[in-house]
Chains A and B, each alone.
Chain A
Amino acid sequence: MPCPKCKATLYRKDVQAKFNVCPECGHHMPLSARERVRQLLDEDSFEEWFTDIKPCDPLGFVDRIPYSKRLVDEQRKTGMNDAATVGKGFIRGRSVVLCITDFQFMAGSMGSVVGEKLTRAIEEATRLQLPLIIVSGSGGGARMQEGILSLMQMAKVSGAISRHDAAGCLYIAVLTHPTMGGVAASWALQGDITLAEPAAMIGFAGARTIWNTVRIELPEGFQTSEFLLEHGFVDRIVHRHDLRTELASLVDYCEKSQS
């Protein structure tokens, strides 16, 4: 397979062994939720939650194909019910609640299922007084096919995060390529600490929308992790290989004091 960035010819196995990072140029390719769990958590420590929540089609949304059909296709393609995977596990022995949005399933967009699973997981994290880590990868943000209900998931998850925060718990947001729109404008940027993988696209409005509005050339590296770091919206850019170690270290720094 060729690297989408440097075009070098790579062995799939080598790429997989490096969690989809190009061994030649270090380009970070999308990583499935299952692989993300394997990358971040101690072996076999993941206890997946709320696996039986499935999407439905409350709007009866039809574009080129009906949303209900699109869902079945996506489920068949990915083997997932919807874009979110949530649960509890250990990072080098530290207990955490981990949520992941998987770009493979409808570009990681947020509908009712993503909102509901995240909210329940965050509520559990609050109840168990555990650190929360959300790894976001979402191209479009809110899922258009669920209309206003997907917009409301932004509020719903934000409410749960505000309570997790009020309970004195740590939330580390990990932004991966791409984190845009309603996902960026809600939980992805509500962390106590915000980390980003290198060269991820992160922002509110899509480049095309901006171009259509302002009609001026967008600056080089616009809406990348590095751009956000430079403008003060990201704490650290972390290479995928170092993410697990960094997360463990940050969890230690922000451990609740016993006194």
Chain B
Amino acid sequence: MKTPQPLAFETEIHEMETIVSKLEQVPAIGGNSEEIKRLRRELTGLIRKKYANLTPWETILVSRHPARPQMMDYVESIFDEFVELHGDRAFGDDQAIRCGFARFGSNKVLVVGHQKGHTLKERQACYYGCAHPEGYRKALGKMKLAAKFRVPIICLIDTPGAFPGIGAEERGQAQLIATSILEMFRLATPVICIVIGEGGSGGALGIGVGDKVSMLEHAYYSVISPEGCAGILWKTANEETKPKAAEALKLTSKYLRDFGVIDDVISEPLGGAHRDPREMANTLKNYLQRSLRELAVHSKEALLESRYQKFRRMGFTLEASTGMTSPAM
């Protein structure tokens, strides 16, 4: 299999992939000779080794890979049906957040997610996954509808951040995110949030309050982008400071699980979700099915209480009275 658009750190992998695929096409050698099999094994080992030790900055690059599956790709591959619901009833229909009812197996759910777009045209229409206030208003409206009929909600998070622009500020970017975060604590139905790519700050959290919050292995979730962080701390975001910032922010799935911020790390196919979108979709589908089953047994009250307690525990403080560093509480 050939890597789509290799990343900078994948040069070695890419070179070997090119050799293998060229050799495969030579009829005299054939696709199954011992030599090719050996090379394939070596290539797999190389990818495995590289991807087991990605630096935080490399993780960021993978999470932003242009061929990485996006929300609408998962909608296509996981669900049997998607009935899209448009519009925020106040201003417009933000293309950076898409919502709709979906079925898979015997489950019916509402899917809400950021869409970044694959083609240039699509990317421009949805501002590269950066939602405006109307996107959050739309999402909240549909989530309330789902909660009314106790339809579980699945939020697929993938945004560099909420859109920073004049119109967004005029129409209350901060207000709509604030409202959405608060109201999500009241949705009386199971809510599962998965960071599938980029978890960019408030723009991610705006649809990120749930009973389960998990991440794909090579996704990131951060209070600020490494570029933004580097710009503030080292005055400039360049090839040296961005990786430093990514490192300092501890924004990868492993760290977040250790901090108690996410429940699970969902493993990706060898070499990242973009190398095998179908396998990724299957893994995610199984995870969602399992989570829905787990959450279905709880009463509405128990669900809301544990959702509250989940976020209530987050953070680390030092209490003089106990002298302990512990998760808050």
Contacts and interface: CB of A to CB of B under 8 A. Distances in A.
Interface string B206-247: 101100000000000111100011001110000000000000
A154 B182 CA distance: 9
Given A182-B202, A182-B223, A209-B164, A149 B178 contact: no
Contact of B182 (A148, A190, A209, A222): A190
B314 A205 contact: no
B70 interface: no
Interface in B63-113: none
20 contacts: A52-B320, A54-B318, A56-B325, A112-B317, A112-B328, A115-B328, A144-B223, A153-B314, A154-B181, A155-B181, A156-B315, A156-B328, A159-B307, A184-B174, A184-B178, A187-B178, A190-B178, A204-B169, A204-B202, A233-B172
Contacts of B201: 142, 151, 182
A59 B255 CA distance: 9
Interface string B152-186: 00000000001111101111111101110111011
Interface stretch (A9-17, A92-100, A213-221, A241-249): A213-221
B166 A214 contact: yes
Interface of A: 52-56, 58-59, 61-64, 111-113, 115-116, 119, 141-144, 146-156, 158-163, 165-166, 181-182, 184-190, 202-206, 209-210, 213-214, 216, 218-219, 222-223, 227, 231-233
A55 B312 contact: no
Contacts of A61: 248
Contacts of A59: 248-250
Nearest to B313: A156
A142 B314 CA distance: 14
Contacts of A64: 233-234
A155 B223 contact: no
B316 interface: yes
Contacts of B308: 159, 163
B202 A185 contact: yes
B35 interface: no
B256 A148 contact: yes
B182 A185 contact: no
A204 B168 contact: yes
Interface in B271-329: 307-308, 311-312, 314-321, 325, 328
Contacts of A223: 169
Given A119-B328, A182-B201, 16 more contacts: A52-B321, A58-B259, A141-B202, A147-B251, A148-B259, A152-B315, A163-B185, A184-B174, A186-B182, A188-B174, A190-B178, A203-B174, A204-B202, A205-B164, A218-B166, A219-B166
A51 to B, nearest CB: 8
A113 B318 CA distance: 8
B205 interface: yes
Nearest to B225: A209
A81 B269 CA distance: 46
A206 B308 CA distance: 30
A111 B328 CA distance: 12
Given A142-B223, A181-B202, A213-B164, A156 B317 contact: no
A125 to B, nearest CB: 15
Nearest to B232: A144
B261 interface: yes
